[in-house]
Structure 1
Amino acid sequence: MLDTDWSDGWRGAFRIELRAEAIGLAWHGWPVLPGTFPAAEAGAQAWSGPVPVHDDWADRLGAHPNQVADWWTGQPYSLLVATGRVVDAVEVDTELGKRAARLLRATGHPAPIVATPDGRWLFLTTVAENLPEELATSGAVRWHGEGSWVPLPPTPFQHGVVHWRVKPDVWGWTLPAADAVHEVLARALEQEDRHQQLVAAASVAA
């Protein structure tokens, strides 16, 4: 895995893939940014995830694909997309993500979904003004809106690579409406709460 192989040759090959993905997303109008990446000499606790490389990253949003290509010329930077403009993201754990994904498939309207090696799922949507109260107060959901960012594939982590669960071309690069995805996530959260209540009741009865 990535925590055991960060040779210069490997990073060089990986940079080409990251660069190609970044350029492609930029051509689709997504505000991509270069992010930090785990270094070969870094210990397991020295890198907790990618953040923008440039302090003025907010001023660089919407860069032309040619500029994006230049950013990835020398380093295997992580691939980030800024949220709050073109795209928002709702972050949940794996179990809640699986429940929501099943509900979305049942409706016939899947959303682009990203999964990270540390067990987080990101549902990508159009930009929203806020998160519904039942999601915002649940403690199980994190909304990435204006001023935030999320990693996109194939961003490397210490123990794996960010990957697509549902690719954006499934929607023809048209993001699903935020309120529709929020509604499905709220239903999935309600299902999870009911499941936990049943498990707790069964434990008490035993």
Structure 2
Amino acid sequence: MVDTEWPNSWRAAFRIELRAEAIGLAWRGWPVVPGTYPDADTTVGTPYTETLWTRPAPAHSDWQSRIGAHPQQVAAWWTGRPYSVLVATGTLVDAIEVDDHLGRRAAMLLRGTGRPAPIVAMPNGRWLFLVASADHLPRELDEAETVEWHGEGSWIPLPPTPFHHGVVHWRVKPDVWGWNLPPAPVVHDVLVRALNDVSAPRTDVPQVVPVESSAA
């Protein structure tokens, strides 16, 4: 695990970084809530922490009532515990979670537009494309097995949240957009294009034509 194997000085610095990121997001109005972390040794009143820890989940059963807390309250939550940094989705921000192949293709297409969306990469090989909240997902994305929509009632981890084998990190930081999230339809359209690209059969593979041998 990431945090448990570090020297105490590094662990303390990492806790401070998690707290600072949570406070910074709260000051910008993002709905931050504390999340579970790999070296948690006790449960804190939620069924999420009673199962095998594989990725962050809300650390408190009343997490939805904590949405919109003042930054001072957020600072108090992160004092003494290295909570993961989670952001509740469905009010300010949504996220579309995709696999690595689709994520790379979509990121390339977004760069081509000159206005890339904030993108998060997780150590499990999944990508998160952050957008302003919307009320639906296009049918092509909704039916794709590798795509997951994080809207109302869900959450996403943000950097530098730890996983068992690495930490969450930004591939495209929100300040690229001045912390204004892109409209969902813009990113949805790009993801649909990327999905069609990665699903299409390759036509650039050269075909081998058998050569007939001449008669002796």
Per the TM superposition, whether the score is higher than 0.5 is: yes
Indicate whether 1:111 and 2:117 are aligned.
Answer: yes
The normalised TM-score by structure 2 is 0.86
The structure with more helix, counted as a fraction of residues: 1
Cα distance in structure 1, aligned partners of 2:12 and 2:177: 32
Give the ranges of 4+ consecutive aligned residues of structure 1 lying more than 3 Å apart after TM superposition.
6-10
1:141 alignment counterpart: 147
2:171 alignment counterpart: 165
Equivalent pair of 2:4/2:39 in contact (CA under 8 Å): no
Give the number of aligned pairs: 200
Indicate whether 1:198 and 2:202 are aligned.
Answer: yes
Indicate whether 1:67 and 2:73 are aligned.
Answer: yes
Cα distance in structure 2, aligned partners of 1:125 and 1:25: 15
Equivalent pair of 1:3/1:159 in contact (CA under 8 Å): no
Runs of 5+ unmatched residues, structure 2: 42-50, 211-216
Task: Tell me by how many angstroms 1:198 deviates.
Answer: 2.3
Task: Tell me by how many angstroms 1:140 deviates.
Answer: 1.6
1:151 alignment counterpart: 157
Q: Describe the SS at the equivalent of 2:120.
A: strand
1:22 alignment counterpart: 22
Q: How has the CA–CA distance of structure 1 residues 5 and 107 changed in structure 2, closer, same or farther, with 3 Å as cutoff? A: same
Task: Tell me by how many angstroms 1:108 deviates.
Answer: 0.7
2:36 alignment counterpart: 36
Cα distance in structure 2, aligned partners of 1:99 and 1:9: 39
Equivalent pair of 2:109/2:190 in contact (CA under 8 Å): yes
Q: Deviations over 1:69-128 (max 9, x none)?
A: 001001111000000000000000111001000110101110000000000000000001
Q: How has the CA–CA distance of structure 1 residues 40 and 71 changed in structure 2, closer, same or farther, with 3 Å as cutoff? A: closer
Alignment of 1:38-53 (within 5 A): 38-39=38-39, 46-53=52-59
Task: Tell me by how many angstroms 1:11 deviates.
Answer: 2.5
2:130 alignment counterpart: 124
Tell me how large the CA RMSD over aligned residues is: 2.4
With 5-14 and 142-151 compared, the bigger mean Cα shift is at 5-14
Cα distance in structure 2, aligned partners of 1:23 and 1:3: 20
Give percent identity, aligned residues only.
Answer: 65
Task: Tell me by how many angstroms 1:2 deviates.
Answer: 1.5
Q: How has the CA–CA distance of structure 1 residues 19 and 4 changed in structure 2, closer, same or farther, with 3 Å as cutoff? A: closer
Cα distance in structure 2, aligned partners of 1:51 and 1:129: 23
Cα distance in structure 2, aligned partners of 1:68 and 1:185: 33
Cα distance in structure 1, aligned partners of 2:93 and 2:155: 10
Letter of the aligned partner of 1:31 in structure 2? Answer: P
Task: Tell me by how many angstroms 1:202 deviates.
Answer: 7.7
The normalised TM-score by structure 1 is 0.90
2:180 alignment counterpart: 174
Cα distance in structure 2, aligned partners of 1:118 and 1:125: 21
Indicate whether 1:79 and 2:57 are aligned.
Answer: no
Cα distance in structure 1, aligned partners of 2:154 and 2:167: 20
Runs of 5+ unmatched residues, structure 1: none
Equivalent pair of 1:88/1:128 in contact (CA under 8 Å): yes
